[in-house]
Amino acid sequence: MRLHPFELIEPSSVAEAVAALGGADGEARLVAGGTALVPMLRMGLLRPGRVISLHRIAELGRFAVSGGSLHVGAMVTMAAIGRSPEIARGWPLLAAAAGRVATPAIRSSATLGGNLGYAEPASDPAPALMCLEAEVDVAGPTGARSLPLSRFFAGFYETALAPGEILTGVRVPAAPPGARSGYVKFCPRSAEDKPLVGVAALLVMDAGAGRCVEARIGLGAVAPSAIRASRAEAILRGATVDAATIRAAADAAVEETDPLSDLMGSAEYRRQMVRVWVRRLLTSLANG
Amino acid sequence: MSLVLEFELNGRPCRTSVPAHFTVLDLLRDGLALLGTKDGCGEGVCGACTVLLDGEPVRGCIVLAARVAGRAVVTIEGVGGEGPDALQEMFATHGAAQCGFCTPGMILSARSLLAVNASPSAHDVREALAGNLCRCTGYVKIVEAVLAAAGRSAACASIPSS
């Protein structure tokens, strides 16, 4: 089945894209990789008169490291993130999460900016980027601004983007020295699915004392958007990370979720799976 | 609104005009009458419309046709020359196609794997084909065919089902 007809605009700079979006008076949709938008167009859930594709804006398709911080343009694909040796070395948590999105043929199209701008609650990269304390760069009619990813997500498929604003990139600070991190996703139906529960975690251990110096836990698919499990983190910080501490942290993480029931699983099942997968990931990191 | 697209199609230059709302799948099947690329789920899940864009597998049904401008597209019609290539040969030899609807997408996903990993494990093959659904074969023969095409013994026969 064809998509309903629309006018396609292919700006070659961010300024042109902002102008096109502003000039469309709310009748336009931005498309990055299309993995979310095109199925919605086909199903008729959206019928924009204009579609603005960002693929000709060269600067959005690049990533670079500067001053120890990684900047990823909004149009960089999951595949490009997943296969970059530089990102694997410096930001292995992001590489791991991007490499677990859907399937190879989706990762080659799906972009980081599209994933975050769509505010998919079950995003794989979002909980990883929350752990890494990423910021997003936004351009709009009144200029550019940056804000923490934790404030960018405003609700279920909602962002803090104002009308006419475009997410242009993501800034990811260096992880703390000695950090160990990982991302696990639990997919009860098939491996290429969105996660029922996604867990990203980052731990810094004091080598001598065996104590946890820093702990960050990001959760996906269990709240209107990706969240940090800050009470669970507080239990880990300063503690000896043994089985009892890990259990206490996993139990605390459950209490920080606000899951929905859907075809993949009930809210209560999601809560139980948060307990299981937080415990498993922390155990593996603590022993790592 | 229509677009004029210039790109490389199966190794040859192609210039064509398509409506702006066409996907790559619409471009191939309806614009260029290349019917080897199959129209399955229409939402990027089944893999029947997989083609290669600059060597990477993509879903024709969710990529806008505009995205091929200046790039190289390979469809199943571009695989093999006078005869079948190694993957096609091994799919036939191993009985890896039944109804055949998923086969073009399987071959192109497998080709993209072999381009970057000349001697994959069965696990690598399963990961690369994770987004190509087959409702006939149960996948075992498909994985065997890809391993055989990579020049590996298909004797690693017992492939776990999950």
Per-residue pLDDT, B152: 56
Residue B92 shares a structural domain with residue B112: yes
Q: Which domains are present in chain A?
A: 7-53 (3.30.43.10), 58-172 (3.30.465.10), 180-287 (3.30.390.50)
Residues of chain A short of pLDDT 50, as ranges, are none
Query: Taking chain B, what is the end-to-end CA distance rounded to the nearest angstrom?
Result: 46
Residue B101 shares a structural domain with residue B119: yes
**The pTM is what?**
0.95
In 3D, which of A48, A84, A90, A99 has the Cα closest to residue A70? A90
Q: How far is A73 from chain B (nearest CA, A)?
A: 18
The answer to whether position B157 is within a domain reads: no
Residue B73 shares a structural domain with residue B92: no
Instruction: Tell me the backbone φ, ψ of residue A149, rounded to 5 degrees.
Output: -55, -35
Query: Do B19 and A39 lie within an 8 Å CB cutoff?
Result: no
The answer to whether position B154 is within a domain reads: no
Query: Which residues on B lie below 8 Å from A79 (Cβ)?
Result: 56
Q: How far is A8 from chain B (nearest CA, A)?
A: 6
Count the domains in chain B.
Answer: 2
Residue B66 shares a structural domain with residue B130: no
Residue B13 shares a structural domain with residue B62: yes
Query: Which residues on B lie below 8 Å from A35 (Cβ)?
Result: 44, 59, 62
- Candidate from A51, A102, A105 with C-beta closest to B58: A105
> In chain A, which residue ranges form alpha helices assigned H by DSSP?
14-23, 37-43, 78-83, 85-90, 92-98, 104-107, 112-118, 125-131, 149-152, 230-236, 243-255, 267-287
The answer to whether position B18 is within a domain reads: yes
Residue B73 shares a structural domain with residue B6: yes
Query: Taking chain A, what is the end-to-end CA distance rounded to the nearest angstrom?
Result: 50
The answer to whether position B158 is within a domain reads: no
d(CA A283, CA A267): 24
Look at residue A166 and give its three-state secondary structure: strand
Q: How far is A31 from chain B (nearest CA, A)?
A: 9
Using the 3D structure, point to which of B22, B57, B78 is the last residue of a domain. B78
Interface test with A, best of B22, B41, B62 (most A CBs within 10 A): B62
Residue B8 shares a structural domain with residue B63: yes
In 3D, which of A204, A201, A200 has the Cα closest to residue A125? A200
Using the 3D structure, point to which of B78, B108, B127 is the last residue of a domain. B78
Query: Which residues on B lie below 8 Å from A11 (Cβ)?
Result: none
Residue B92 shares a structural domain with residue B74: no
d(CA A124, CA A94): 9
Domain holding B73, by residue range, is: 2-78
Query: Do B3 and A7 lie within an 8 Å CB cutoff?
Result: no
B23 interfaces chain A, CB cutoff of 8 Å: yes
- Candidate from A1, A2, A105 with C-beta closest to B131: A105
B54 interfaces chain A, CB cutoff of 8 Å: no
> In chain B, which residue ranges form alpha helices assigned H by DSSP?
24-26, 86-93, 103-116, 122-128, 140-149
In 3D, which of B61, B64, B23 has the Cα closest to residue A33? B64
Using the 3D structure, point to which of B41, B57, B78 is the last residue of a domain. B78
Residue B107 shares a structural domain with residue B57: no
Query: Do B59 and A102 lie within an 8 Å CB cutoff?
Result: no
Residue B56 shares a structural domain with residue B20: yes
Residue B21 shares a structural domain with residue B63: yes
In order along its 162 residues, chain B shows pLDDT tens digits of: 999 999 999 999 999 999 999 999 999 999 999 999 999 999 999 999 999 999 999 999 999 999 999 999 999 999 998 899 999 999 999 999 999 999 999 999 999 999 999 999 999 999 999 999 999 988 999 999 999 999 854 444 444 444
Q: What is the CATH number of the domain that holds B63?
A: 3.10.20.30
The tokens describing A91, both together, are: 């930001």
The answer to whether position B91 is within a domain reads: yes
- DSSP string of A191-204, one letter each residue: TTSPPSEEEEEEEE
Per-residue pLDDT, A209: 75
- Candidate from A1, A6, A34 with C-beta closest to B20: A6
The answer to whether position B159 is within a domain reads: no
B61 interfaces chain A, CB cutoff of 8 Å: yes
A90 interfaces chain B, CB cutoff of 8 Å: no
Q: What is the CATH number of the domain that holds B113?
A: 1.10.150.120
- Candidate from B3, B63, B109 with C-beta closest to A8: B3
The answer to whether position B128 is within a domain reads: yes
Size of interface A-B (CB pairs under 8 A): 92
The tokens describing B108, both together, are: 């192109």
Residue B73 shares a structural domain with residue B8: yes
